[in-house]
Structure 1
Amino acid sequence: MLDSMGFREAGAGWGLPEPGSNRGYAPLQLIEQFIVSIWCGACRFVHAETVRMDSTLVRLFGWARAAGHKAIMRLFARFDMLTNERVQAEVYRWFFGKISALKRVTLDVDSTVITRNGNQQGAARGYNPSRHGRASHHPLLAFVAEARMVANFWLRPGHAHSANNILQFLESTLHHLGHKIVGLLRADSGFFDETVLSFLEDKGIAYIVAARLTQPLQRALYHASGWWALKPGLELTELRYRAARKPLHNPAYSFQRTR
């Protein structure tokens, strides 16, 4: 599969960090070993030793010899934030460029909580519905719904708000997609923010973002009219709602209710 995708040819132009020694392993081989280790079930760096000891895999991929897991760790340690974003963008644009049949995409944006039990860098106490009081990370994720593929992933401290750095994240994600057109963006109420909605409208991107059901919005819905039945038990309406603290934005919102 990697050969048919032209993985090695593409990887040669990604500008991967070079080893500090002439005896070091080629960075592209270390990336290949890392991928193969994951395919073989690795969930820790040390599990890469399984691939190292498999002479059949070494011959199959044409490696002169396989590196130990610490060589892979040293490669990733040479990535700083700027290098990470640059290489990540190159990889994503190459990958999505391979999916030529997909011209328009639906982008799903979400955040999740990853509980940490150690002292991992960046872990902090924040909202954690499953392990209250535990340190965690609160990453941002973007998925292309049609391909069921990740389009972007940013790791953040556990106390970060859902919409924290979301505009920069969206700009980065659109860059990753290259010439793909985002026909629709979907997100939950954690991203219901004035700046997010204005950004999407300025970009001409249609969106479905769940609204926070605040008391003023509940009162507006109570007095709303024009409900029509989509199907038994599900009704829709549309109204214009302006948050009191954000007077410049007065978009139309669609709402649904169930009976």
Structure 2
Amino acid sequence: MKNLALRTDLARRFPEPRTSPNATPVADILQAFMFNCLMGGRRFAHTRRIQDDQAIAVILGMKKGRVCGEDAFTRLFAKVPRPKARSWLAWSERDLYSALPSAFVADWDSTVNTRYGHQDDVAIGSIHKPGRGSHHPLLCVVAGTRLALHMEWRPGNSVSASDWIVAMDRA
């Protein structure tokens, strides 16, 4: 992961400065997130299984000697406005795109994510749980990989066949 330099580049360009001397470094939080994903974690809470493992912290070079908890992810991004977050990630997307072959298949699909509790842009429309709120995202992936090129959240009452052209233009 050190050779990728992605972690340090993302941390260096992070849009909101961390001012507390006790704050976990941005690079450590991002590395914990990436490692959680590599370990098959599908939720922030899955970081708990590696949080207190000092051997993993040493291998990953964590400054505080332990892997941060799941609340560090949400606290890190809580104060970052969406436009700043999008521009922060835009440059790393360019690096990913440049590594793709010159010709590939962009596979577009939609799915339904059932939601519980209150979340932005949730609307009733889940086919799996009638009456339950959901999102209906559009997703573009490179066929044969797990690399998502583009994704747009839509309310759960969106029709599957809508907004494709607009999303493709944005991608």
Would you say same fold, with TM above 0.5?
A: yes
Superposed CA RMSD: 2.4
Where does residue 7 of structure 2 map in the other structure? 8
The CA distance in 2 between the partners of 1:72 and 1:79, in whole Å, is 12
User: Are 1:83 and 2:84 an aligned pair?
Assistant: yes
CA distance in 2, matches of 1:22, 1:171: 43
Match of 2:158 in 1: 160
Matches within 5 A, 1:6-155: 6-12=5-11, 14-65=13-64, 66-99=67-100, 102-126=101-125, 128-155=126-153
CA contact (8 A) 1:33 1:51 kept: no
CA distance in 1, matches of 2:98, 2:23: 31
CA distance in 1, matches of 2:9, 2:95: 7
Secondary structure of residue in 1 paired with 2:127 = coil
Deviations 1:139-192 (A, max 9, x none): 11111115442111222221234433852x32442xxxxxxxxxxxxxxxxxxx
Question: Residue 3 of structure 1 aligns to a residue in which SS?
Answer: coil
Look up the match of 1:248: none
The answer as to whether partners of 1:10 and 1:94 remain within 8 angstroms in 2 is no
How big is each residue's C-alpha offset from its partner over 1:83-124, in whole Å with a ceiling of 9 and x where there is no partner? 23212322221222234xx01222122211111233333221
Structure with more contact order per residue of length (Cα contacts < 8 Å, sep ≥ 6): 2
Structure-2 separation of matches of 1:8 and 1:89? 15
- Kept in 2: contact 1:139–1:155 (CA 8 A): yes
Q: Residue 18 of structure 1 contacts residue 27 of structure 1 at CA under 8 Å; is this kept in 2?
A: no
Q: Tell me the amino acid that sits aligned with residue 49 of structure 2.
A: T
Q: Report the equivalent of 1:226.
A: none
Preserved CA contact (<8 Å) 1:46 1:69: yes
* Structure with bigger gyration radius: 1
CA–CA distance in 2 between the matches of 1:112 and 1:122? 15
Task: Give the counterpart letter for 2:7 in structure 1.
Answer: R
Deviations 1:2-33 (A, max 9, x none): 23333234324543433242321222221111
How many residues matched? 168
* Amino acid in structure 1 at the alignment position of 2:69: G
CA contact (8 A) 2:11 2:30 kept: no
Alignment TM-score, normalising by the size of structure 1: 0.57
Distance 2:45 2:142 in 1: 31
Q: Which residue is 1:170 aligned to?
A: 168
Distance 1:34 1:22, change over 3 A: same
Deviation at 1:46? 2.7
Structure 1 residues 89 and 172, CA gap change in structure 2 (3 angstroms): farther
The answer to whether the 8 A contact 1:36-1:51 is kept is no
* Structure 2 unaligned residues grouped into runs of 5+: none
Matched residue of 2:48: which SS? Answer: helix
- Return the TM-score normalized by structure 2: 0.82
